[in-house]
Structure 1
Amino acid sequence: MTKQPSRTIIEVHILQTTAPGNLNRDDTGSPKSVIYGGAMRARVSSQAWKRPTRQVFRELLDPSQLGVRTKRVVELLSKRILAAEPNIESEQAVNLAEIVLADGAGIKLAKPRKKKDAEDDQGEEVLQESTYLLFMGNRQYDELASIAVEASAQADAKAAIKNSKKRIKKIITDDRSVDVALFGRMVADDTDLNVDASAQVAHAISVQEINPESDYFTAVDDAKQESEDEGDSGAAMIGDVEFNAATFYRYANVDANRLNDTLGDADATAKAVGTFVKAFVSSMPQGKINTFAHGTLPELVVVNVRDSQAVNLVGAFERPVEPDYVEHATEALVRREQELDTAYGIQPVNTWIIRVGEDTKAAEQLAQKVSSLQEVVSGVESLVADRLVQE
């Protein structure tokens, strides 16, 4: 009897050199950093790379397959109600949305806290918001809007919505939006609405030691410069901004089995995995991007499919690499994977690599390079679908 695959886990390992920039700031405005292996490293938090990854999803998938993460749930649902039934008054749509969310779904709502020194609302209604960011699919909002419209035709709309509580909960718990399934959802008030994340994203760190630098800048007043009386070389504004430049090791993984548990379809799961790989590889945090134009693409991408467990290879860089950074980082990454695979018997089921330039040649010890990212995505989707069908 053929042994069935037990797990299907997709790993994405990336080496990427960025231009000087401040991709991800801390509370003081400085680029985030971490001490690793006794040396200062540049760091980009997982959250800072998850958001641009989700934004790329919008280019790759239909909106009906995606979710919205927001506190402004009443506003969003009331707009869907009005779109479904334009004859409903705006005030009624808001009231229906509040009842569906609070009484039907059990989501805690409250008026947003007024900003300090903010002016009076001058009679403008301030809509209630959820007390936490709620990540929910577009399809769910449309289905909840349908319930609200149905209830609006009843003599007691509130009672009708309350009687639909089980149906409302089922709509939310059956959320099969790709990004919700990948990144998860936590609802503190009702754990039944939680969705376990099937993707994990590590903080990116530089493979080399870095020393943050500061850019002292000036801004010139154009009108003053054009004046014959006032024209001079003085600046109208001065300031400074911290930045760094580094070769980053980026890592993420997707547990296709857990993702399939949520999406409930092998082909849909395979497509979601492929979308994640493509989006994660090509995304870039936007922090101060207009100042630094730091957007780059990776020098090396290694995608593994494993049937055992996910393995972060960051230990390859516990000792900071020396120039040439990409070449030596590639060699360290390959050496680390080969040693771990041999020591623990966790050789990947399949590996794809994309590499740019001669500095990444050592990666071909892991697999033959492929011609494009799309070839990797197609290969991953096909293998994931085949393995999930066998289970």
Structure 2
Amino acid sequence: MNRTIIDVYALQTVPPSNLNRDDTGSPKTAVYGGVRRARVSSQAWKRAIRLMFADLLDRSQLGERTKRVGESLAARIQALDSSLTAEAASALATDVFVTGGLAKLDKKKGEVKDVESGYLLFLSHRQLDNLAAAALEAHRAGTALDKARFKALVDTEHSVDIAMFGRMVADMTDINVDAACQVSHAISVHAVDNEFDYFTAVDDRKADAAETGAGMIGTVEFNSSTLYRYATVDVDALHRTLGDAAATRAAVEAFLTAFARSMPTGKQNTFAHRTLPDAVLVRLRDSQPINLVGAFETAIGETHAVGRIEQAAAALARHTVAVETAYGERPVASWVTQVGEKTAVLADLGKAVSFGELVTGVGEQVSVALGQPA
């Protein structure tokens, strides 16, 4: 096989927190290795990563995911031609998405302002800009944007976030985009028991000192954990979608940065849980992705002598060597960023560098793999 696969592994400790809630407000969990683990869903962390992309990439490289497609397109149409009223721009946008088959008019209501799609629709800013220009051009020519033209415009100039995380359009499957990136659910390397914080809030306008009691009482559920995180990026698939080596490298570097530095924001004001990973390991492979979660199938236990991070780092190092030796999976290149002595054992798995050097090193290897100068 001749592929370019980037596997990213991280160990990250978070304090008491509720990063990702279920339908009852409890921190999400999962049973793995026969014990209950803390869990942060891949969807929650992918959302955090995608939001951080806005700080790392130009707006033109990104997209937006919304049901309010008519509103978004109408604003672009009116920006191109300020002589159009808001109602006229909205009517043009409605025609575009109804003709394209991604929105429907409510026949009982007749005309619909700011038409919505039936589900979240993921389009790049460039695709929306191109649709706006094409719709305006057709309007000035006294025609309408046809469906073939619509499909062509929404299936080219994909954004980085669409290329990374994919797009599924049930009503027009031929414009679907396969995700180049897969993100696993983060799980704790140890067993957890959720806890409850009983809190009270005082009413500031209680003037009578004799009036006792809280203005509000409640509970917040939380846990704390050392998380194992994993994601993989198929560089070849990413390049096929983006169509440009420089854009592919920029996308990979942005993803690595956001993977390490992003954090789901559930109950963030309550717990101030933002941490950075204790260790990040990146393996560049030419065969297939390999999730090393088996290192933690036996949950890390409690000892007074060795903390969880140190135990987790040692387990990950042992399992990595064992799996790669057994299957002859020698990585093309490997980088490690680790904090302090507790994760020092991981430094033997690759080139020990600062995180900035790791991102740049991976980016250079991506350029080489795509036939570009580093």
**Aligned counterparts of 1:154 and 1:291: Cα–Cα separation in 2:** 56
2:216 & 2:83 partners in 1: Cα distance? Answer: 54
- In 2, distance between residues paired with 1:127 and 1:77? 9
- Matched to 2:88, the amino acid is Q
**Separation of aligned partners in 2, 1:55 and 1:30:** 24
Offset, 1:232: 4.2
Stretches (4+) displaced over 6 A:
none
* Native 8 Å contact 1:21 1:288 kept in 2: yes
Q: Normalization by structure 2: what TM-score?
A: 0.94
CA distance in 2 between counterparts of 1:132 and 1:283 reads 26
Task: Give RMSD over aligned pairs.
Answer: 1.5
Deviation at 1:38, TM superposition (A): 0.7
Tell me the residue number matched to 1:341.
Answer: 324
Other-structure match for 1:289? 268
Q: How does 1:94-173 map to 2 (within 5 A)?
A: 94-103=90-99, 105-109=100-104, 127-155=114-142, 159-162=143-146, 165-173=147-155
Query: How far apart, in 2, do the equivalents of 1:349 and 1:231 lie?
Result: 73
State the match for 2:109 in structure 1: none
Distance in 2 between residues matched to 1:326 and 1:160, nearest whole Å: 61
Q: Which residue of structure 1 lines up, in the alignment, with residue 360 of structure 2? A: 378
Q: Is the 2:127–2:158 contact (alpha carbons within 8 Å) kept by the matching residues of 1?
A: no
1:255 aligns with 2:234: yes
Q: TM-score, normalised by structure 1?
A: 0.90
Q: Does the residue aligned with 1:389 lie in a helix, a strand or coil? A: coil
Cα distance, 1:102 vs. partner? 1.7
Give, in whole Å, the separation in 1 of the partners of 2:366 and 2:73: 35
C-alpha separation in 1, matches of 2:358 and 2:210 = 58
- 1:42 aligned onto 2:29: no
Kindly indicate whether the alpha-carbon contact (under 8 Å) linking 2:74 and 2:114 is maintained by their aligned counterparts in 1. Answer: no
1:158-200: CA deviation from partner (whole Å, max 9, x where unpaired): x4323xx322211111132000000000000111110000000
| Cα offsets for 1:292-333 (capped at 9, x unmatched) | 101100000001100011011111001111241000000000
User: In the alignment, is residue 364 of structure 1 matched against residue 347 of structure 2?
Assistant: yes
SS at 2:16 equivalent: coil
Where do residues 152-301 of structure 1 align in structure 2 (5 Å cutoff)? 152-155=139-142, 159-162=143-146, 165-224=147-206, 227=207, 229-301=208-280
Match in the other structure for 1:114: none
- For structure 2, the 5+ residue unaligned runs are 107-111
Q: Percent identity at matched positions?
A: 53
What's the CA shift for 1:270? 1.4
Gaps in structure 1 of 5+ consecutive residues: 112-124
Q: In structure 2, what is the Cα distance between the partners aligned to 1:278 and 1:11?
A: 14
State the SS of the aligned residue for 1:160.
coil
Q: Distance in 2 between matches of 1:264 and 1:153?
A: 32
Q: Distance in 2 between matches of 1:389 and 1:168?
A: 33
Deviation of 1:354 after TM superposition, in Å, equals 0.5
Which deviates further from its counterpart, 342-351 or 166-175? 166-175
1:280 is matched by which residue type in structure 2?
Answer: F
Q: Is the 8 A contact 1:206 1:249 kept in 2?
A: yes
What's 2:88 paired with?
Answer: 92
Preserved CA contact (<8 Å) 1:214 1:242: yes
Q: Which residue is equivalent to 1:63?
A: 59
Residue 136 of structure 1 contacts residue 175 of structure 1 at CA under 8 Å; is this kept in 2?
Answer: no
